[in-house]
Structures are given as C-alpha cells and as structure tokens.
Structure 1
C-alpha cells in the first residue's frame, strides 16, 4: 500500500497537468552548464506524466524480475529520442504517446501475468523515444555545454527515481504475497493516471 499510496496523490492534479515536458526555467533555453543540468533534473520530476512513467517502469522491472535492463533501455532510448528532436526528426503525437505509455505500463503492472519480457522491453524502448523527444524541446538551440549537462541531468534523475522504485518494489514483494498484490494495485493506480493524462489532452 505504501507504493500505491505514495503516488495516488498525483491523480488529484493529473487532469490539470498537460502531458508535456517541463523545466525550471519557464521555457527559456539553458545558457550554461548549470542551467542545463538543473533543467535536465527538473524535466522528469516537474512533468507528472514523465515522473509517473519513470516510477512505474521501475516497479514493473521489479515485478517481472528482469533486473534493471528495462529502465536502462528506456533511459538510453530517451537519449536517442532527444537526439532525434535536435536533428529535426519528428515523432507523431508525442503527448498522446507519453500519456498512453503511463496507461499501458500501469496495466502491465496490474496484470497477474505480464507479456513476454522481450515485448515489454520493446515497449519500453519505444516509450523512451517519445519521452526523450519531448525532453528535447527544452534544449533546442542550446550550446554544447548546456546540452550535455541537460542530457546528464535527465539521465541521472531518471535512473535515481527508477532504481528507488525498483528497490522499494523488490523489498515489498520479498516480504509476502501481499507486497506483490500491492504492486498490482499500484499498477491500477498508474493506469488511472495515464487515463487522466489522456483525458486532459482530449479536453484541452
């Protein structure tokens, strides 16, 4: 219940939060390495859709017993997605796909028997592309120093959040079957968040 309860409060603001990348500088492009790093740290935290996904992928990795390969794949593909944005390569409907990824991975976590690991890994890779593509919007036009700091910032914070979620979920699941059941309940909560994010886009 700790995992589910800690993130259920996100639902109270989900409809009011657009499914876009956010950062601490009000839309201004970072002009130095410190700003770039802080902006990178802020994006996956301030953007509730991104934060929800980073948490749920860590929980799902623990539930499936596949180690950190899934979060690492997501994080690496997010870098690729950012690169695609910077090169001017467009991905369709990024806001919709990002919100849908929260819904989908919440459903996967809620399932008693998720799909084969390679399928989930492929979905994590695709999700990473779209999340990273959204991250790229904030750094377009920046110099190389802020750019690399930005990439380091959002990569670091995503791994910290994911590993924390993963470790917490492993400890809960190891205690009893109730812990595993709580993870499935958390999956339902994240699926609800994803639906709320999608509804916010449709109603905007």
Structure 2
C-alpha cells in the first residue's frame, strides 16, 4: 500500500510540474534552481509552520490522511507555483499564507477530526497561495523544473516532520499527547495571527 502511494505521489508531482517545463534552463540554472527552491519553504516561519501543521493534521486524522493530505498539498502547490511562474496574478497571497497558519493551527488545536476529503480540500486551498508565492519568487537564473522540484521536496520533508512530530508526541504520552499537539496548534495559530497583523 505504501509503495503504491509513493508511485502515485511521483506521478502526480510529475504531472503537476508539466506546466513549468517551459521555464526550464540547462546547466547552472538547474543547480541554482533546485537550491533556491529547496531553501524557499524552510526560510520563512509562515511556510515552515503551515507545512508542519499539514503533517500534524494528517497524523491527527490518521489512516489514508497520512499520505492523501500531504500529497494534496504538494500537488496543488505545484499548480499554484506554475501560476506564479507565469506571472498570473492571485489576490491576497500573503494574507492567504498567514490565514493558512491560523486555520491549520486551529484545526490541530481543536483536535478536529475532519473527513479526509474535507481536510484535503482545506489544505489544497491554502496550497495555492503557498505555491504561488514560491513560483512568483523564482530567481531569473533558476531552472523552473529544478526550482519546483526543490521546494516540493522541502515541503514534503516538512510534512513528514509534522507527521513524525505527531507520532513522537503520541509516543511520549498517550494521555497527554493530544494536549501537547493541541497546544502546539494553538501556539502556531497565534503565530499566524501575528504574521497576518504584521507583528512578526
């Protein structure tokens, strides 16, 4: 089952990256693109919090959500990045990113057990904003495909970190694990409010 989900992830990621093929360059641009792409999600608190929260939500729901929720985020983010690379305007990108931290943090804090389809829809909505920000901030010298591969890999790693954090919290204490996870979600939601209001 797990190997099938990995194959599906790879196929969907390749399909989602297809629109950015026109932006590919050869040689140095590929290396620069990958490094810039990989560093972009991990260089901003807003992106890091949102990505880890997606992983925590996947862990919180469990089952198919463990792979479907992060996969949805990465796939839709690739579409959003293609829009950004093509300079197609999207309103309220920064507000959408900050709201993603608030909403996803609240979902974790409240321990909401949403159906997988709804959880995937919510993270997919916010993934558009994150992807657009990545795509629109691509350096001119970067190769589009390599850049997208970099930020998609970094995003997936942050999702895995969130899932791992959830499992770690659960292992530390079965009784208090939910409280710790919900507290982390609440703190993240407050950080999102600070990001939205410009305090951070």
Does the pair score TM above 0.5?
yes
> Partner of 1:180 in structure 2?
178
Contact map agreement 1:45 1:51 (CA 8 A) in 2: yes
CA distance in 1 between partners of 2:162 and 2:178 (Å): 14
CA drift at 1:58: 0.7
Secondary structure of the 2:176 match is: helix
Match of 2:195 among 171, 194, 197: 197
CA drift at 1:140: 6.5
> Partner of 1:163 in structure 2?
160
CA distance in 2 between partners of 1:135 and 1:195 (Å): 21
CA distance in 2 between partners of 1:56 and 1:62 (Å): 10
> Partner of 1:23 in structure 2?
none
Contact map agreement 1:86 1:140 (CA 8 A) in 2: no
Q: Aligned Cα RMSD in Å?
A: 1.9
Runs of 5+ unmatched residues, structure 2:
1-27
Post-superposition, which runs of at least 4 consecutive aligned residues in structure 1 deviate over 4 A?
140-143
Runs of 5+ unmatched residues, structure 1:
1-30
CA drift at 1:34: 1.3
CA drift at 1:49: 0.7
TM-score under structure 2 normalisation? 0.79
Secondary structure of the 2:106 match is: helix
CA drift at 1:55: 0.9
CA drift at 1:113: 3.2
* Matched positions, count: 170
CA distance in 1 between partners of 2:139 and 2:91 (Å): 18
